[in-house]
Chain A
Amino acid sequence: MKTNLYTPFVQATCQVLQTMLDLTDIAERSADEFHANEYLEISVGVVGDLEGFITYRFPSQTSLNIVQILSGMEMDCVDDFVTSAVSEIANIISGTVMTLLSADHLTCDILPPFQGKPDTSKEYSQRSQCCVSTSIGDICLDIALNKA
């Protein structure tokens, strides 16, 4: 049976962006509409009742805007500092998702985030994409998970 993963992912992303960045204008949008020439790709491994990866795509300007709001400082390029801050946000969103999933009796842990795309060439029974749009840009998530 397929678990509804889409809703907790969107819910967690909205919750974290609202709490950390005070963003209120967050809306779901189709992943097909996500277009970015340059983006920061952060992946988080999942182990436990579900196994696989979550890959986040933050367009460069969205990444800079996020860190600018967090720090109150101007950021002009996606460097080590920005990449690390955005990776931690991906980590926080993933942790929030795992908490939401535990209400469905799914116990999972997350692994430290890494920059780049994992090898997702194998078959995943739970595969979906979701995207949220905000005043500081879009964020897209690629979910590739299997029930253990």
Chain B
Amino acid sequence: MFWKDKYRLGVEVIDQEHMELFQRVEAFMNVLRSSQSWEEKVGQVNETLEFMKNYVVEHFSHEEAYQKKIQYPGYEAHKKKHDEMVQYVAEVSEQYEKSGFNEQLMQQFGGRLLAWLVNHVAAEDQRIAAYAIEQGVTGNEN
């Protein structure tokens, strides 16, 4: 599993969602990178993609609500990064469907998603945790 404990923010609900997201992305990559033919795996790829499209939006909105709650000063900039990713996922999905499920598009999407997610959780999200610790509001998730 490519999840690492150092990615934890110390906010249980967010950490659980991050772990779920990493698991889903890992499952997606496993199918994408398997030696099966594209025809054999395209159904599973589409299923995982559909789940992620919804889950990413749901998770981002939970994380943004938490940032607002603790009055995180980087909220606007962080939300912009979320919005750009949501837009990218929507655009690629649309292009992918229109192309008749082109494999190259999904391989490119998978690679970018992997690097984006690791950086976002390992760097960007850690700033939220650092702020929460500094303000003494860690665990303020309800």
| CB of B38 to closest CB in A, whole Å | 12
For residue B19, CB closer than 8 A to chain A, the reply is no
Partner pick for B107 among A19, A20, A80, A86, CB 8 A cutoff: A80
Chain B residues whose CB sits within 8 angstroms of the CB of A1 once the complex forms: none
Q: Chain B binding site: helix, strand, loop or mixed by DSSP?
A: helix
From residue 74 to 118 of chain B, which have CB atoms closer than 8 A to chain A?
104, 107-112, 114-116, 118
Are the C-beta atoms of B107 and A81 separated by less than 8 Å? Answer: yes
- Is the beta-carbon distance between A79 and B107 smaller than 8 angstroms? yes
- A64, chain B: closest CB distance, angstroms: 12
Asked if B53 is at the interface (CB within 8 A of a chain A CB), the reply is: no
How far apart are the CA atoms of A73 and B28 in the complex, in Å? 12
Residues of B within 8 Å of A67, CB to CB, are 111, 114
**Contact bitstring A70-92, B, C-beta under 8 A = 1, else 0:** 11110000011111111111001
State whether the Cβ of B13 lies closer than 8 Å to any Cβ in chain A: no
Q: Count the A-B residue pairs with Cβ separation under 8 angstroms: how many?
A: 66
Q: Do A92 and B107 contact each other (CB < 8 Å), given the known contacts A71-B2, A72-B2? A: no
Cβ–Cβ < 8 Å partners of A81 in chain B:
32-33, 107-108, 110-111
The answer to whether B123 has its CB under 8 Å from any CB of chain A is yes
Q: Which residues of A contact B33 (CB under 8 A)?
A: 73, 81
Please measure, in the bound complex, the distance between the C-alpha atom of A87 and the C-alpha atom of B115, giving whole angstroms.
Answer: 9
Does any Cβ of A come within 8 Å of B122's Cβ? yes
Chain A residues whose CB sits within 8 angstroms of the CB of B104 once the complex forms: 80
Closest approach, in angstroms, between the C-beta of B130 and any C-beta of chain A?
A: 13
- B119 lies within 8 A of chain A by Cβ: yes
B residues with a Cβ closer than 8 A to A are 1-2, 26, 29-30, 32-33, 104, 107-112, 114-116, 118-119, 122-123
A-B contact pairs, 22 of them (CB 8 A): A19-B119, A19-B122, A67-B114, A70-B2, A70-B114, A70-B118, A73-B29, A73-B33, A80-B107, A80-B108, A80-B111, A81-B107, A81-B111, A84-B107, A85-B111, A86-B111, A87-B111, A88-B112, A88-B114, A88-B119, A89-B115, A92-B115
